[in-house]
Chains A and B, each alone.
Chain A
């Protein structure tokens, strides 16, 4: 299904001329993502943005001008992303940057954003460092961070009588953050828990049989899983085959997102407590409206990325409208404390650490019509899953 060329080509040719802002000329936003490296995640996200942009423009645009996103592929390489960000800012005349899924690309763009003083809305990357350790005034984040989602699961885990835990997480920064946060929050809530095994398979190169054997050897009461994508599929299959999950509670970070649950089909694990996006059971309100509009527009079901993409475009429009200008400094100030209504509800970009209070859905996995779904879910507001303000200030040295 070949798509049209990126609309940027024509723009790139023209853009060597300095772009003078004219009435009715579109306000351009630069969107950098891993369209070739991670198409399964980036494409639904792009569709979410495109749908929001269409709606915004039908309703009169932003500041009376149409909104336009310029999509560029960075191949998942931080160095490429930096180059593209420079091009978008200097030649395309975009007023701010959004995008990235991989945390390292997000961190690279964020560092450039602070240096060049333009606003970067890190919509999808989860690294805690983006808003804390490496946080800066010019970077904002939409999605609930690793810490927030891990804390949601830890709270659910604290309510059970499991005492010994084993963890399995991909051996890179996201996996390590996710395990550290889960341990921290769970130990705080329930000091007698014990972590009896930690497994660290290389990202996208899991030796699932061996990992399952190693976890089984530790005989934990419960398992905390951070693997995702193909690693998750292999882990679930080996674990089911070898009976690892029998009589054990499993907590799965992001495992309930359609991006990860759908490819598993009828083999999706049952009874895991997970964070995810149960769009199929939204009954009314903005969330359900978004789902039906999305299905009508694209003739496919939404993913979590679709929801994030849609909320990204809404946030950008709201910030520019509030700023009343397309100047970087004005947009940045508008983002501080900005409140936006997105499908999940009202979210606020916190002044203290630029993290949005977008939450996540926590529920239990089950099988329905030959596919995995989340049942008994609740929406956990992001604002309730963050550490105290004093702790955040410690974690975020930059301000």
Chain B
């Protein structure tokens, strides 16, 4: 009995920092509709700033003062990010802002490394709270009890702010209908900046508060991000009470998981998440999205047109040039080109989903990595020849996408995105922990192409044919009746239904189709590298594709592969330098600000301006 109570208290203490970070993310999303990928970075900053402040400020007062200082400083940084970067891209397509926040992640990583150095910093203990209290004979750290006391305090303060003050009224109004709030004369800019300040300050507080239980290190941004997404999604995006309930739920389940299912703690969290979302697609306390609420910000999309002959001729010439690469490029040029082509197909498949279907997936790596693993597992366990594995990889990934899509498509918008993320994480944790079959993080190695394709040039040509073919098939699908039906379900689902289109089935087919194409890219990846590891299923891989699609331009037909090519090449060039993450992050932010329509979109606009109205 005493032990169970003690475990419960541990869970409640863990919930503290998690709640603060999650409530900040939820608040920011609720008001600004920005999914702040950089929220983990603000948490990390909070830990580092708090640590530095604790070195300077003495005693118990200094300790708690340092935590507040960390919150304020991180809040100010957040407000600066909002004013300098995000404010310039509110008019961009939905969710485009997350690309900018991804740039912020990269910048913060390198800045933290420059300022605080590579060594992990151990957090100081809280003065006066270093001992334990015996609760029914079980030791409970005093600081845990302090956290259990502080969390409801913060939650109450937030509740008071939101429920009882004018600012809170405005925040709630903006959460429900931000355009109306603007129309009523409220200065939205300051409301958004203020929300960012508050949300980021909460993340900073969370980071500083956990210092006595750990410390500050350079990997904590992504570690917390996955957990926080889980909490926010289970609680319901934008709901503060939901965030509180979900952080307690997840923390307590985790504590008991550690005690009774120590092998499967990772899987457990995501199983809970998927289960909750199947019953409540909008989270425990989330609100169903009103159709069209998010709307298509900005100019309406142009109809899709086949490329004109100059573009076709140009692409054909480029392809011929590329096909002769083995004749004029070096051995490494082939390797690099193979990498880029595979990534282009992966990006193009996500782009099809996003651009044509309006379906934003945060977990597309599930199908890319899934295809890669299908191929590798077939070769490893069934001695499948490469040719067959490359056919079965897209089929397997497509089948997986059909199953995931069947569940995830019950939700829409950001909830759909979060569900795909949940499934991707579930798959990742399964692959990671089911070592007997998948090799765990030691992966599956020694999966090389068949003899005829093993030369650099032969495999390059194979990749070229499959990837360019795949991209053309995706493009063709956009021009086919299926593409029109898909765009109809995207832009006007009710009207589409009324004309007899089964929008749910169309979306499901599109999802499976995009999944299969990603799976093909994954299968090729496995053979090009000779091995596959769980990294290919990570959140970071999904984000890579997402960033690239937005950078390329969602509302264009070529955005996916163009973005993929540019991003991969820039990365290959930049990673040769120290502090390349800073450079890449700044580059991404610059593109976001300068070209909110993406690279292709902006090029098109420039070309149109050049050519006058002559189309």
Residues in A lying within 8 Å of B, measured CB to CB = 1-3, 5-6, 8-9, 12, 16, 35-37, 39-40, 43, 72-73, 75, 77-80, 82-83, 86-87, 90-91, 103-104, 107-108, 110-112, 114-115, 127, 129, 134, 171-173, 176, 198-202, 204-205, 207-211, 213-214, 217, 229-230, 233-234, 237-238, 241-243, 262-265, 267
Contacts and interface: CB of A to CB of B under 8 A. Distances in A.
Is chain A's binding surface mostly helix, strand, loop or mixed?
Answer: helix
B265 interface: yes
Contact of A171 (B141, B265, B332, B443): B265
Contacts of A111: 445-446, 530-531
Nearest to A76: B535
9 contacts: A35-B578, A39-B218, A111-B530, A176-B435, A207-B254, A209-B14, A210-B10, A241-B131, A263-B119
Contacts of B14: 207, 209-210
Interface of B: 3, 6-7, 10-11, 13-14, 109-110, 113-114, 118-122, 125, 130-132, 138-139, 141, 144, 212-215, 217-220, 223, 227, 254-255, 258-259, 262-263, 265-266, 330-332, 335-336, 339, 432-433, 435, 439-443, 445-446, 448, 525, 529-531, 533, 535-536, 572, 575-581
A173 B442 contact: yes
A242 B122 CA distance: 18
A213 B6 contact: yes
Given A171-B265, A210-B7, A199 B577 contact: no
Contacts of A243: 132, 139
Which 5 residue pairs of A and B lie closest in terms of their CB atoms, listed nearest first? A39-B118, A90-B331, A210-B258, A40-B118, A209-B10
Contacts of A202: 265-266
A265 to B, nearest CB: 6
A72 B573 CA distance: 12
B330 A210 contact: no
A246 B529 CA distance: 49
Nearest to B219: A204
Given A79-B535, A233-B215, 14 more contacts: A6-B577, A36-B581, A78-B531, A79-B536, A87-B336, A90-B335, A213-B7, A213-B259, A237-B122, A237-B214, A241-B131, A242-B132, A263-B120, A263-B215
B586 to A, nearest CB: 15
Contacts of A264: 122
Given A230-B120, A238-B141, A82 B530 contact: yes
A16 B141 CA distance: 62
Contacts of B266: 171, 202
B577 A233 contact: no
Contacts of A267: 122
Contacts of B445: 107-108, 110-111, 134
A242 B332 contact: no
Given A73-B575, A107-B443, A263-B120, A83 B335 contact: yes
Contacts of A134: 445-446
A177 to B, nearest CB: 9
A213 to B, nearest CB: 6
A212 B98 CA distance: 38
A217 B581 contact: no
A87 B332 contact: yes
Given A171-B433, A200-B263, A241-B130, A209 B141 contact: yes
B413 to A, nearest CB: 29
B332 A90 contact: yes
A264 B121 CA distance: 8
Nearest to A398: B446
Contacts of A83: 335-336, 339, 572
Nearest to A243: B139
Contacts of B432: 172
Contact of A75 (B120, B575, B576): B575
Contacts of A3: 578
Contact of A230 (B114, B215, B443): B215
A43 B11 CA distance: 37
B573 to A, nearest CB: 9
A233 B214 contact: yes
A104 B265 contact: no
A73 B572 CA distance: 11
Contact of B576 (A12, A104, A211): A12
Contact of A91 (B138, B332, B533): B332
Given A83-B335, A108-B443, A173-B435, A208 B213 contact: yes
Given A107-B442, A264-B122, A209 B262 contact: no
Contacts of A40: 118-120
A200 B580 CA distance: 35
A82 B332 CA distance: 11
B201 to A, nearest CB: 24
Contact of A176 (B114, B131, B132, B440): B440
B260 to A, nearest CB: 8
Contact of A6 (B10, B120, B121, B578): B578
B332 A211 contact: no
B530 A207 contact: no
B547 to A, nearest CB: 15
Contact of A103 (B118, B139, B442, B577): B442
A123 to B, nearest CB: 18
A200 B262 contact: yes
Nearest to B142: A241
A79 B120 contact: no
